[in-house]
Structure 1
Amino acid sequence: MTGAGYLADGLPMNEPIAAEPRPPGSMQLAHREDFRLGRALVRPSLRTVEGPLATLTAEPRVMQVLMALADVGGAVLSRADLLEVCWAGRIVGDDAVNRVIGELRRIARETGAGFVVETIPRIGFRLVGEIENIPVQPAVEASPGDVEARPGLDRRTWLAGGLTVLAAAGGSTWWMAKGSGNRSAAQQIAEGRRILRELWPDQDERGVEVLREAVKIEPGNARAWGLLAMAWRNVAEGAPPDRVSAAVTGCEEAARRALALDANEGNALAALATLRPYLGDWEAAEDRMRRVLEVAPDNPNVLLHLVTLLQSVGHARASWDLNERAIAKEPLSPPHQFRKALKYWIFGDIAQADLTIDRAMQLWPKYPAIWSARLYIFAFTGRTQAALTLLKDRSLRPAMFTSQLEERWQVALTALEAPTAGNLAQVRRALADEARPGFAVQAVMFLSALGDLDAAFAVAQGFLLRKGPLVGSIWPAQNQMISPDDRWRRTMNLFTPATMAMRADPRFIPLCEGIGLTRYWQARGAGPDAFLMPDQKLSSMPSPSSRGSPAVASPERTENL
């Protein structure tokens, strides 16, 4: 067959289809291994990007450019590099390259893939997003002359002469390294780890499903059992009332199996240490977590929860240090990044808070906690119009964001923008009269920032102490977007700039006494960080920062809180 045609990857050619091996630079897609990029599954042979929002098919050239950028693992490729690899060295105009880059960005945005193609001015482009190989089964009886069988070719070899070698071999059977059959335990574990690292609210049960398959394949794998325990623990945190007990049992059983195989399996220990809510149980909960760190110092699951606990008790500097430690282990974990942004806000570095949360929004659009953090930082730094604009942008809203939640945010932001008597009365009705959870954490912050401290304390007392007229169910309405901070009644919001007026009020210490915080501070010999409590006697207690802390130094508190 001669004449104009298409190669296996869909690229046009004018020679006979099987005339000769392709020259270096004409990247083949047909036999490239699937891999994960950000939150997406990239299938080069099918030219698809499968993200949480959509699955899109890329043009051949677009997929080639994506592969070239992925092959160098975040390094910069110049336009000349891309022309050599993806256009076989042919000279094309800048418009052709720009069109492909623009299409890649559209695919990333519309699939929710969680990667960014960054332009480096006057130099080139690079890919920002975590790349993870998907392990495959080892090859069966590969001959000595074949390329060594292994879990997929290292993508970096493609730009280091890999194509030249393959072309010279005349199309050798290197793809025999790709196994067949069902996914291996290693694949299931890799997928489970990704789910646990990203913590998308709608993926908890998927994590259990994936890791149950892993332990079915390898019942003697302690790590798989430990990760399964952690997955069950996450389900328990967000499950509806009729499913919580089963998830708790699943966590305990999986942890028991893991620890029977390895008494120091860190994930199982972390799951058990963080399974219970720690409101009022601060000291014991912290002790459980720190015992896990003695055995597994870098376990990301226990670090995540200790960061939360320390912020919840007003130890913001110590919480910062541990979050930086977690980021060093998992730099592309969404929870670590939105917490970093919020901590910059707490310490008064608004410029860094903006940069950090905007990067997170680019990588993980529609991630509920990232979206909420962006709203907080806008709302409580005098930029309510920007917050209202974001609220109206339906393309960025998280799933399960209800019209009721939109109305509450709208009322609260409008009152911050224009605190008239009418707007304040409306915000009190909308926030302080709401007895169900789902917005209590935000209501306390907004009411405090607006100076309506009576209403702020009424919500906080009903929410945290179960006292007063605003005591309601701790369970949200079905299909409502709610964070574990509401479900487990966490108190990080009490130690933010939005609630500074509450902390200066005489009612704050009795509130802290009621939830066991003063008892915790006395037992630890360390009150909240002094910059958080400028007008309270508790600030005279030694703070964690005065005793020093390991790891990364926290930013200095600035004056624009």
Structure 2
Amino acid sequence: MTTVETHKKVELAREPDFRLGRLEVSPSLCRVRGDREIRVEPRVMEVLVLLARAEGRTVSRDELIAACWQGRTVSDDAVTRVVAKVRTLAAASEPPAFVLETVPKVGFRLVVAAAGVAPPGRAPPAWRGWLVPVTVILAAAVAGGLWASNDGVWPLAAGRRGDTAVEAFVGEKGDRETERLAIAASEEIARRMDEAGVQTRFRDVSPQQDDTEFQVTGSIAREGDGYSLITRVIDRATGLILWSDRLERPASQRQSLAKEGARRVSSALACLLRDRGSRRMPAEAIGLYLQVCDAALNYWNARMLSATRRLVVVAPEMADAHAMHGIAAARVASETGFAEEGAAALRMEAKEAARRALELDPRTAKAHVALALSEGEGGRWTQRERAYQRAFALDPDLTLALTSYPQFLREVGRLDEAIELVGRAGRAADPRGAEGGSLQAMLLAQKGYLREAERLITLLDQEAPGANREVRVAIAAWWEDPPVAIAKIRDLAADDDDAPCLLIYLRELPDRRANGVKGLPPECERLAPDWRIRLLAREGDLNAAYAAMSAPLPNARRTLAFLYYPEMKAFRRDPRFMPLAGRLGLTDYWLESGRWPDFCREPDLPYDCRTEALKLAQRRKGVASASSAIGARLGAAWKASPMRMRAASDAAGPDDNTAPSPFSWTSRRTKSGR
């Protein structure tokens, strides 16, 4: 890409395609292609283009704002949020195609990774100079003969397998604040691992005297105007780093470092030990499985898929590895940015992985979760629920089922059950790192418990500040009074692409309802189809909402959970709703399962759900019977017709007394080639 001035306004429609390492970037299409294709928000693409223009030079915040926000006044948080989304694009290829550095008090610098070489970064401080990437250490272990046996597995420790020693974390020497935070991190990690069922102790003896399998250690340092926490899991017998994690927080949020770091490492270790059991694993598989567990519990689906693809090669006989691979492929298939053919290929990959897991071990509960997820969203209700039921029969407390089955329950309208199940997931395993906490907040708000939802989000923010910003904005935009919602959107999401539509719509909503205004503001044309349907229903334009439902939803928006939102109440009370549910296959599922959506219990509902579903089923049965009878009469008439006799005579050879079916697409014309 040729060098241009970074302050020049970015016009995506005029920007040529270019490459960043292994990534192909198409600014005019807002797409990035690597190992997978990602659709990118326009603002994020503008920032990516600007940073790429700089060709390794640091770009200041002022330059970013001038070129991408046209010089408007924007908060530092708004810039930081967009930059964070740019960072995630590097993971579209494996290894990451670039790194995006934050240069304290200056700006940001994008560095492209050379092919086959780890992305360059800033030289680490002297106190961190001994940190080595996991892959380098593993390679050194192979080359240096550090394996304890020739079968490529970690040596068994003398003590109980899975016992973990938590070493005291260290801060920067002489820096009292980092030293205080380091002590807090050590204590929090030990507490969390004990809660997760990991045998834990503070190590106060030398490694030679210690019989634990793993060591957890790390450090806290100042990072510009903020703080960073590095956590490592080390194999005690060999000293090899199995897994490492890095968190950064601004100074105002430094207290959350210990809690978030402790949750991450304790969840990953508990997941590994539970799934591994007493089995011995290949050396590299231990580190990879920790990565998979971390990604699975935090819904980093692309990262999970990348790790599981390597894991099933390293541990081909491990059923849980294949099951996790199936879950990752199915999750990625449902994400924004995949065309239907790409999603179909990923779902097939998920099914094959799940089937392989069940071949290896028929009691692999996670494989059934993978099968349920591989069916996609928006249909195949019975098959999906049966897969979840098989998973729960094998493992009633399986976290991955407890946190994904509620999403299915939302699609079929059983919200009370979903809330109860998410709460059960919280009792089985801490849901705060996955979507569990966010989903619970959304469900509570959807049922009208706005205060309870706000309290839960506030609790989640103590551990991961800002992680639930989008949930808070969504709850405000849809279910709080318009003046409150407008204030929150301006404060939290003024620079989001959907903000102009939502702000205008919410300001106009009272007048739209009072005066029967139809349609949506022009600013809302780019919204996702389900959001447009919800906005139309909320203002009372039901005809337009039903018309919009006639078009198929795109791959990444096929969940039908929105049908049961509060703003869709008038939509559900309309006589057209049950026929729509019939076309979607929902009424057949409700009849077959005997489980009805919550809204069917509303006392003022103008129809009875079961009665209407039965009418639809009988009507379809009558149509099918009539079609069958018409087909039989046509067939009989054809057999008796002179045309049929001539066709049979023309088609039959000397030893052929058969005739083509009147319902076959093959005709004499196609057979003769004319």
Q: Which residue of 2 aligns with 1:276?
A: 375
Distance 1:30-1:275 versus aligned 2 partners, 3 A rule: same
Q: Which residue of 2 aligns with 1:254?
A: 353
Partners of 1:392 and 1:221 in 2: CA distance? 50
Distance 1:440-1:134 versus aligned 2 partners, 3 A rule: closer
The offset of 1:101, in angstroms, is: 12
Query: What's the TM-score, normalizing by structure 1?
Result: 0.59
Distance 1:540-1:231 versus aligned 2 partners, 3 A rule: closer
Q: Which residue of 2 aligns with 1:509?
A: 578
Q: Which residue of 2 aligns with 1:122?
A: none
Post-superposition Cα deviations, 1:305-364, rounded to whole Å, max 9, x if no partner, equal 321121221211111222212222232234111221122123322210111233345544
Post-superposition Cα deviations, 1:77-134, rounded to whole Å, max 9, x if no partner, equal xxxxxxxxxxxxxxxxxxxxxxx999998769x9469x96669xxxxx9846614169
Asked whether 1:219 is paired with 2:219, we answer: no
Asked whether 1:458 is paired with 2:547, we answer: yes
Q: How does 1:95-244 map to 2 (within 5 A)?
A: 111=248, 127=259, 130-132=263-265, 184-199=284-299, 203-238=300-335, 240-241=338-339, 243-244=342-343
Partners of 1:335 and 1:135 in 2: CA distance? 16
Partners of 1:364 and 1:345 in 2: CA distance? 20
Asked whether 1:407 is paired with 2:496, we answer: no
Given candidates 375, 387, 398, the residue that maps to 1:299 is 398
Distance 1:430-1:514 versus aligned 2 partners, 3 A rule: farther
The offset of 1:454, in angstroms, is: 2.2
Query: What's the TM-score, normalizing by structure 2?
Result: 0.50
Distance 1:248-1:492 versus aligned 2 partners, 3 A rule: closer
Asked whether 1:537 is paired with 2:568, we answer: no
Q: Would the aligned equivalents of 2:308 and 2:324 in 1 still touch at CA under 8 Å? A: yes
Q: Which residue of 2 aligns with 1:416?
A: 509
The offset of 1:221, in angstroms, is: 2.4
Q: Would the aligned equivalents of 1:226 and 1:268 in 2 still touch at CA under 8 Å? A: yes
Q: Would the aligned equivalents of 1:500 and 1:532 in 2 still touch at CA under 8 Å? A: no
The offset of 1:290, in angstroms, is: 1.0
Q: Would the aligned equivalents of 1:451 and 1:501 in 2 still touch at CA under 8 Å? A: yes
Q: Which residue of 2 aligns with 1:327?
A: 426
Higher RCO (C-alpha under 8 Å, 6+ residues apart): 1
Runs (5+) with no aligned partner, structure 2: 1-126, 135-166, 192-220, 230-246, 274-281, 612-674
Which segment is superposed worse, 532-541 or 301-310?
532-541
Q: Which residue of 1 aligns with 2:362?
A: 263
Partners of 1:310 and 1:357 in 2: CA distance? 22
Question: Looking at CA atoms only, which structure, 1 or 2, has the larger radius of gyration?
Answer: 2
Partners of 1:194 and 1:126 in 2: CA distance? 16
Distance 1:254-1:126 versus aligned 2 partners, 3 A rule: closer
Q: Which residue of 2 aligns with 1:11?
A: none
Given candidates 437, 454, 457, the residue that maps to 1:354 is 454
Distance 1:356-1:133 versus aligned 2 partners, 3 A rule: closer
Q: Which residue of 2 aligns with 1:61?
A: 176
Give, as a single letter, the amino acid of the residue that structure 2 aligns with 1:231: A
Partners of 2:397 and 2:584 in 1: CA distance? 30
Runs (5+) with no aligned partner, structure 1: 1-27, 36-42, 48-56, 77-99, 120-124, 137-150, 152-181, 465-473, 476-483, 542-561
Post-superposition Cα deviations, 1:504-559, rounded to whole Å, max 9, x if no partner, equal 22222222122122222222223222455741433678xxxxxxxxxxxxxxxxxx
Give, as a single letter, the amino acid of the residue that structure 2 aligns with 1:384: P
The offset of 1:447, in angstroms, is: 2.2
Partners of 2:570 and 2:268 in 1: CA distance? 53
Distance 1:351-1:366 versus aligned 2 partners, 3 A rule: closer
Give, as a single letter, the amino acid of the residue that structure 1 aligns with 2:540: G
Distance 1:58-1:255 versus aligned 2 partners, 3 A rule: farther
Partners of 1:189 and 1:217 in 2: CA distance? 10
Asked whether 1:336 is paired with 2:405, we answer: no
The offset of 1:297, in angstroms, is: 2.0
Q: Would the aligned equivalents of 1:504 and 1:533 in 2 still touch at CA under 8 Å? A: no
Given candidates 365, 368, 388, the residue that maps to 2:486 is 388
Give, as a single letter, the amino acid of the residue that structure 2 aligns with 1:281: R
The offset of 1:189, in angstroms, is: 1.0
Give, as a single letter, the amino acid of the residue that structure 2 aligns with 1:252: K
Give, as a single letter, the amino acid of the residue that structure 1 aligns with 2:541: D
3-state SS, counterpart of residue 550 of structure 2:
helix
Q: How many residues align?
A: 392
Distance 1:193-1:59 versus aligned 2 partners, 3 A rule: farther
Distance 1:340-1:526 versus aligned 2 partners, 3 A rule: same
Superposition misfits of 4+ residues, deviation over 6 angstroms? 28-35, 43-47, 100-108, 115-119, 420-423
Q: Would the aligned equivalents of 1:70 and 1:131 in 2 still touch at CA under 8 Å? A: no
Q: CA RMSD in A?
A: 4.5
Q: Which residue of 2 aligns with 1:439?
A: 528
Distance 1:299-1:68 versus aligned 2 partners, 3 A rule: same
Given candidates 446, 471, 474, the residue that maps to 1:376 is 474
Distance 1:187-1:502 versus aligned 2 partners, 3 A rule: same
